[in-house]
Amino acid sequence: MVTIRDVAKQAGVSVATVSRVLNSTGYVSEDTRRKVIETIQLLKYSPNEVARSLYTRESRLIGLLLPDITNPFFPQLARGIEDEVHSQGFRLLFGNSDEDIKKEADYLHTFTQNHVVGMITATAISMKETYEQLPYPVVFLDRIAEQYPSVYADGREGGRMAAIEMIKRGSKQVTLLKGPLSVRPAQERFQGALDVLSESEVDFHVMNTTSFSFEDAKKWAKELFEKYPNTDGVIASNDIVATAILHEALKLGKSIPSDVQIIGFDDIPQSSLLFPALSTIRQPAYDMGREAAKLLLKYIKKEHIEERHIQLPVTFIERNTTRKVDSNG
Amino acid sequence: MVTIRDVAKQAGVSVATVSRVLNSTGYVSEDTRRKVIETIQLLKYSPNEVARSLYTRESRLIGLLLPDITNPFFPQLARGIEDEVHSQGFRLLFGNSDEDIKKEADYLHTFTQNHVVGMITATAISMKETYEQLPYPVVFLDRIAEQYPSVYADGREGGRMAAIEMIKRGSKQVTLLKGPLSVRPAQERFQGALDVLSESEVDFHVMNTTSFSFEDAKKWAKELFEKYPNTDGVIASNDIVATAILHEALKLGKSIPSDVQIIGFDDIPQSSLLFPALSTIRQPAYDMGREAAKLLLKYIKKEHIEERHIQLPVTFIERNTTRKVDSNG
């Protein structure tokens, strides 16, 4: 039987070098590596290490694809996921897709190549077929995907809530900001708010926005008060945009909330630290991440799945950009 | 010579199943997998696929260890790293250490197991020896590590800058917040500010803090104005803490910046969206991440390294929590 010593001798290298090549540890020059592998093939050396590596190639890696980690909603989500997978002995391969179909395809390819055992995506834009072909389970996060396991907050209800609170607290000229078309959860919350506003007796404007970036939000905030100077209530597409609106309103000398009420969406950590602190619809980002990881790990471990779709509730967080409601109603 | 067909026949499975085991693609039950591998060993089958896998096990993975992705400084850093490694065809394995030595050791182990070709850490607390034994290059980020390649901002100069600006703009009773002892960059900026204050003619207090969490920061902000009600300038340990101070000062009816000036550290994205917008010492987080990735990739590709230590400059970002300086002085 061919031994590792035979390989080393034939290749003219040390046993340690052969071992390093077999285990992919330490530095071995590309030439030496190639020579060792050729010798292994030549001598038909079948090391136990190679066989063993077939066992261990069952990795404990999980792919995580987010739109953009610099959007403050996502670190919470990522943290919830990491805490859960780490506690169960798994690790994360991580990428930002920028909602770009090429980057997404690229990461799907990488995840497969690196033998991930499962994947969580908060940014699926590819064809259904792409996900169907993956050789591992996928959980959709912050996205409703009927045919896939998914974890999401009740965005539509969140939008409804924002509009109801806004009307109840006396705004009569509401501006409703519609988030980017490509971001489905943003469309759901928009739709929820629209449902309520269109059935109400308040006047309202819909203003389109195309991103959640801080810089863009500043421009829209300016534009909003130029176009609709009588706005006395703003339902923002998320907290970043709400923050820019708040800033602009204060700059214009408006008093918050007596002149203008503002309601955000997400409850990112810094929203409570604004002055006045932002009233918003809270999505439980950390819990959403944690639930998605739990669900995926159940699939990976082939445990019993009770519910493939987990919808977490949203809540109205009353702070100081909305007026207090009289105890009389 | 033993072929894949022989293995399939002997194991009583299809050729496709053997192939799936060899390539770790698709679902194969654990029993079948075990049987196939045993048959491979029994027959001493040495497939080209196994040999080929030895080539491809040179992964294109890079380990990234951060203290906590939910601290708003780190997403920028992570994004800079990801943009650079992605553009060069590499991917990130990612973990949060929580500055916990066990979690750190755990991730170092995972990175090695997954054959990363390099690692970036913004949270090294382990022994020097641990890092010396790693079989791949490591770049320290946001940390000065003499014996290792590292990328960091000039924190000491940043601290000096904050104190100089504070004094120049007329504060006479400065409170200097000292960040957590375990966070070395926080100590450097503290030391820089202390150097300037101790040589100046203004009175100052040093107040210790033990974390950068939003919730803790609120408590310290309260405590600060109770203990030192005459404070007319606060040099905060970072922007999160500065935001809490700003909030508390406004609550107490203080006028910013005429009653109290505040200077933060980091320039996290939301600092420009506070009202009044926060004056701060900017660390170029995104660029730091990008530079660290560039440096590491040079090591991985064995390219020429001009400088092992890259110090990026900090800048004073003048916004509205500091007074304007007269053009005369």
Which of B288, B328, B291 shows the shortest CA–CA distance to B306?
B291
Q: What is the largest CA-CA distance in chain B?
A: 92
Q: Using CB atoms, pick whichever of B26, B82, B106 lies closest to residue A96.
A: B82
Task: Please tell me the distance in Å from B100's CA to the nearest CA on chain A.
Answer: 13
Domains and CATH numbers, chain A: 4-56 (1.10.260.40), 61-153+285-312 (3.40.50.2300), 155-283 (3.40.50.2300)
Q: Are A54 and B21 in contact (CB under 8 A)?
A: yes
Q: Cβ of B298: how many Cβ atoms within 10 Å?
A: 17
How far is it, in rounded angstroms, from Cα A179 to Cα A193?
12
What is the C-alpha separation between A107 and A33, in angstroms, rounded? 28
A-B contacts at Cβ under 8 angstroms: 165
Check CB contact under 8 Å for A247 and B273: yes
Can you say whether residue A234 is alpha, beta or left, with left for phi > 0 and alpha for psi between -120 and 50 degrees? Answer: beta
For residue range A236-258, what is the model confidence (pLDDT) as tens digits? 999 999 999 999 999 999 999 99
Spatial strand order of the sheet with A91-96 comes to A309-312, A150-153, A138-141, A118-121, A61-66, A91-96, B91-96, B61-66, B118-121, B138-141, B150-153, B309-312
Q: Are B19 and B7 in contact (CB under 8 A)?
A: no
**For residue A249, what pLDDT is reported?**
96
Q: Are B89 and B60 in contact (CB under 8 A)?
A: yes
pLDDT at B58 over 70: no
Q: How close A99 gets to chain B, by Cα (Å)?
A: 14
Judged by CB atoms closer than 8 Å, whether chains meet at B135 and A26 is answered as yes
CA distance B324 to A303: 63
Q: Output the pLDDT for position B15.
A: 85
Residue corresponding to tokens 């204050």: B197
| Residue A311 pLDDT exceeds 80 | yes
- C-alpha to C-alpha distance for A245 and A260, rounded to whole angstroms: 10
pLDDT beyond 60 at A108: yes
**Angle between the B48-56 and A48-56 helix axes, to the nearest 10 degrees?**
70
- The residue-averaged pLDDT of A139-162 equals 92
Nearest to B92 among A25, A94, A115 (CB): A94
- Please tell me which of A6-15, A141-150, A215-224 the model is most confident about, judged by mean pLDDT: A215-224
Residue type at B94 in one-letter notation: F
Mean pLDDT of A215-222: 93
pLDDT of residue B121: 94
- pLDDT beyond 80 at B1: no
Specify whether the CB–CB gap between B47 and B4 falls below 8 A. Answer: yes
Contact list in B for residue A255 (CB cut-off 8 A) is none
What residues pair up with B138 in beta bridges, in sequence order? B119
* Cβ–Cβ below 8 Å for B246 and A275: yes
| A249 to chain B: closest CA residue | B275
Task: Assess contact for A209 and A220: CB atoms under 8 A.
Answer: yes
Chain B residues with CB inside 8 Å of A21's CB? 54
pLDDT value at residue B329: 45
The CB density around residue B127, as the number of other CB atoms within 10 Å, is 11
What is the pLDDT of chain B when averaged over all its residues? 88
Rounded to an integer, what distance in angstroms lies between the CA atom of residue B140 and that of residue B148? 7
| pLDDT surpassing 90 at residue A295 | yes
HSE-up of residue A204 (Cα within 13 Å, Cβ side): 25
Whether the Cβ atoms of residue A245 and residue A224 lie closer than 8 Å to each other: yes
- The predicted pLDDT at position B315 comes to 98
Provide the pLDDT confidence category of residue B25 given band limits of 50, 70 and 90: low
For residue range A247-288, list pLDDT tens digits in order: 999 999 999 999 999 999 999 988 988 889 999 999 999 999
For residue A275, the chain B residues in CB contact (below 8 A) are 246-247, 250-251, 274-275
- In this structure, chain A runs to a length of 329
Answer with the residue of higher pLDDT: B2 or A294: A294
Angle between helices A4-11 and A15-23 (to 10 degrees): 110
C-alpha span between A6 and B137 (Å, rounded): 31
Chain B residues close to A26, C-beta within 8 Å: 135
* Binary contact (A269, B214; C-beta < 8 A): yes
Backbone angles phi, psi at B111, to 5 degrees: -60, -45
The Cα B325–Cα A1 span in angstroms is 84
Cα A217 from Cα A240, distance rounded (Å): 7
Helix (H, G, I), strand (E, B), or coil: what is residue B36?
helix
> Which residues in chain B have Cβ-Cβ distances shorter than 8 Å to A244?
273
